[in-house]
Amino acid sequence: MLQGTPIFRYCQNFVMETSSNAPTHQEPTAQEMLQDLLRRAEMQNLQLELEVRFKRNMAIFKEAAPEIYDQFIDYEPQELRLQYTTDGYLNLVNYNLNDRPVYASDPKAFSDKQVSDFILRPTFSSVSFGKSKIMNDAHIHVPLINSLIDVCNDMMATTKVDASKPVGLMIMTGCGLGYQLPGLLKAMDIYTLCIFDPHKDSFYASLHTIDWGEVIKYFLKPGKMIKLLIGMETPDAMADLKLLTDKIGLHNIVYTFLYRHFGSVKEEEFIERYKKEFHLNASGTGFFDDEQVSFSHTAANLNNNVYLFRQEPLKPTALPPLLLIGNGPSLDKHIEFLQRNRSNAIVFSCGTALSSLAKKGIKPDFHVEMERNIDVKDWLEVGTTPADREGITLLCLNTSSPEVIAMFDDACIARKPNDCGEKLINDVAPPDIIRNLPLCNPTVTNAGLSFALAMGFTQIYLIGVDLGMSPEGDHHSSLSPYHTLTEKTNIKNFSPLENTATNYFIKGNFCEQVSTSLFLDSTRVNMQILLTYYDRVKGGVQVYNSNNGAYIQGTTPKPLAEIDDFEPLHNKTDFLYQLKANHFVRFPVTAHTPKSITKNYLQGFFASRKKIGLPKHIDSAEHLYTKLNEIYFAVGKLKESEPVACMLLRGSLHGYFTLILKCCLYQTDLKRFNEAYQIGRKTYMTFLKQCYEIMETNPLKLDDTHDKNIIMAKQLMAQSE
């Protein structure tokens, strides 16, 4: 039962503005009294109408979105209220600013014109794909996707985006009175609508002015969804949006329409942040070859009874400072500091930083790796010796190569989230004990920070974690094996960060801006989300950034000169022993074989094959959207019942479906549409044929993606000796 009459709280001061020139001391005429009575009756009727609409909308949200109901059923506006003007329309005014109107004119007329203008000239962002380097000739995804990218680029040369075709995702900033919604939903075919409104007052007003039942009814159709980001700050809203890619598919955001109803400071901040980070939606979606490797490596690591990583104990103990070391150029200026303080702190090295530290006689306590390919072994072999690695404990993910794990005396694997190997681990270890290691990619420093926070460290120093560089700066420490190998062999492009053609600028830690790449910027964003989570859930974490690289929100910029040497740590051995005892666990495992794997984990994968093929003919963009969504959501539903099937397929669907849709959607000529579709379908069906053949013949094949440049470098160095 709804309690109270919120509309009276909200509209308790309907303004009746009169323009009579009669002296105020004169009695009103009979006609004026009649007009006043009619005006008051009109206002009372409107007030009753708004109250009824509010109650009806609240009843709908109570069923459809209880979090909205709970937030607004007893809401008290802070700044904005409804006001009835002498011109005969409702407006939204700021009562803290002398009732300054939010809309300069009739909100309905304003909204209608705004919708018309948008349909004529829509604003949008688009996902673009670059071709990937083929690292392994046996992998199937990259060559097929590269061929499709070439075709897509050619066939899109004459297309133009407009509002007449289905819209996978529309983001609206500012809800206002909501009058724009009926017009947009009537004129456009919107699959997912996200409304970002940081002002609760304006959304509260819309609960009185429009029928939200019709809006929600529109999005109850198959494949459609509405997401309300109301009263949220920009970082939280962006974190929510980042999860959408996996939920609705990258193909649904390939063209994201941006509808800006309002332009407040907070909404402008959101739009600017979205523009800067939109490209990150296309990163980290995964693909079949990666998932097959993850699956096989997880099975092998479980067969080898490697320790599993348990999250922070229920009763954490005070821990010493932690030095988290990446291989960025700022590492060089920290060497002396590390040499003085490594014995008084716990030290994590990340990736190729181990090689750089070895050159200066600095041995970390833990080394972190997160890549799944065997080329990690190649880099460890050219950058370190067995003596360099002796006594170091490896922290890695379940996806890591068994041959890499074998290079260390001691090792522990954490469960990577949203990964094909999760199911294998869940079947031997309780999920509440062996939880996912959150936000542990795309780079090894993400994994290092996530391990450190999960272990309970609260005083963390980022060293060599630059994630950006000045225009004249280098991409890695001068001690890096990338530089050493180039000097010895004259082979270039060892580092994936050397190509700066697509780099862009972001805020610097100690300077105005630094150059970064999609790869490094994804690292920064995920670190920020992780730090926000720990700050809100646990608190008390201090992370210091002393690098001349990117500013990382949630860290404290602190020049090296201002960091004092640490207090002596007399019982470091005890701390290390206790850390391992708290976090390293083993469980009994029945050995996985190709036969048992097929029987226990791949039945759903093989059963899905006939359901995920594309039809030979598609007759319209609407038909194409429907079919792609049907397949993508069907695969997504497998996550609960057949998680391995879902993970093997879903990442690749992002790539193929996005390119097919992008290539076909805005073709105005039906012949060109069909031509584009047939090319995309042929590539996708070839992919399906090949990936099913692999899982039938060799599901537990371990990765053999060796770094070709390192192999060549080894040969050159051997010849010169």
Say what the pLDDT of residue 1 is.
Answer: 22
CA distance 565 to 327: 22
Say what the pLDDT of residue 314 is.
Answer: 57
From residue 622, how far is each of 476, 628, 636 by CA, in Å?
Answer: 48, 10, 21
pLDDT(670) > 70: yes
Average pLDDT, integer, range 411-422: 96
Say what the pLDDT of residue 434 is.
Answer: 94
pLDDT(145) > 70: yes
CA distance 400 to 370: 6
- Average pLDDT score over the chain: 88
Contact 176, 115 (CB under 8 A): no
What are the pLDDT digits (tens) for 146-169? 999 988 888 887 789 999 999 999
From residue 194, how far is each of 163, 217, 256, 511, 648 by CA, in Å?
Answer: 17, 15, 11, 35, 29
How would residue 487 be classed by pLDDT, with cut points 50, 70 and 90? low
Say what the pLDDT of residue 42 is.
Answer: 67
CA distance 715 to 246: 43
Of 351, 540, 533, 575, nearest in space to 460 by CA: 540
Say what the pLDDT of residue 607 is.
Answer: 96
Average pLDDT, integer, range 355-382: 95
Average pLDDT, integer, range 173-194: 96
Q: At 452, which helix (H) or strand (E)?
A: helix 444-454
What are the pLDDT digits (tens) for 671-683? 999 999 999 999 9
Say what the pLDDT of residue 241 is.
Answer: 85
| Ranges of each domain in the chain | 6-97, 110-143+157-282, 306-490+501-585, 594-697
Query: What angle (nearest 5°) sits at the alpha carbon of residue 185, between those of residues 265 and 164?
Result: 100
Say what the pLDDT of residue 214 is.
Answer: 96
Average pLDDT, integer, range 643-665: 94
Say what the pLDDT of residue 239 is.
Answer: 81
Say what the pLDDT of residue 22 is.
Answer: 41
What are the pLDDT digits (tens) for 466-484? 998 865 566 567 776 656 6
Q: Would you call 348 helix, strand, or coil by DSSP? A: strand
pLDDT(23) > 50: no
**Does residue 361 come out as left (phi exceeding 0), alpha (psi in the -120 to 50 range) or beta?**
left
Say what the pLDDT of residue 471 is.
Answer: 59
What are the pLDDT digits (tens) for 548-595? 999 999 999 999 999 999 999 999 999 999 999 999 999 998 899 999
pLDDT(200) > 80: yes
How would residue 4 be classed by pLDDT, with cut points 50, 70 and 90? very low
Torsion of CA 255, 261, 264, 269, to 10 degrees: -10
Say what the pLDDT of residue 453 is.
Answer: 95
Query: Taking the mean position of all CA atoms in its chain, how far away is CA 169?
Result: 15
CA distance 706 to 633: 35
How would residue 40 be classed by pLDDT, with cut points 50, 70 and 90? low
Average pLDDT, integer, range 538-553: 94
The tokens of 655 are what? 């790539």
What are the pLDDT digits (tens) for 232-283? 988 888 888 888 888 999 999 989 999 999 888 999 999 988 887 776 666 6
Higher pLDDT, 501 or 623: 623
What are the pLDDT digits (tens) for 98-111? 889 999 999 999 99
Q: At 411, which helix (H) or strand (E)?
A: strand 410-414
SS3 content of the chain, % helix, strand, coil (to 5): 50, 15, 40
Say what the pLDDT of residue 44 is.
Answer: 74
CATH architecture of 306-490+501-585: Alpha-Beta Complex (3.90)
Higher pLDDT, 698 or 502: 698
Contact 484, 404 (CB under 8 A): no
Options 3.40.50, 3.30.420, 1.10.150, 3.30.110; CATH for 110-143+157-282 is 3.40.50
pLDDT(446) > 90: yes
Say what the pLDDT of residue 129 is.
Answer: 78
Say what the pLDDT of residue 509 is.
Answer: 95
Kindly report whether the peptide bond that precedes residue 386 is cis, defined as omega within 30 degrees of 0: no
Amino acid sitting at position 474: D
pLDDT(2) > 60: no
How many residues does the structure list for the chain? 721
End-to-end CA distance of the chain: 86
Q: At 225, which helix (H) or strand (E)?
A: strand 225-230
Strand arrangement of the beta sheet that strand 90-94 belongs to = 80-84, 90-94, 100-101
What are the pLDDT digits (tens) for 296-349? 999 999 999 999 999 876 566 789 999 999 999 999 999 999 999 999 999 999
Say what the pLDDT of residue 21 is.
Answer: 41
Say what the pLDDT of residue 423 is.
Answer: 95
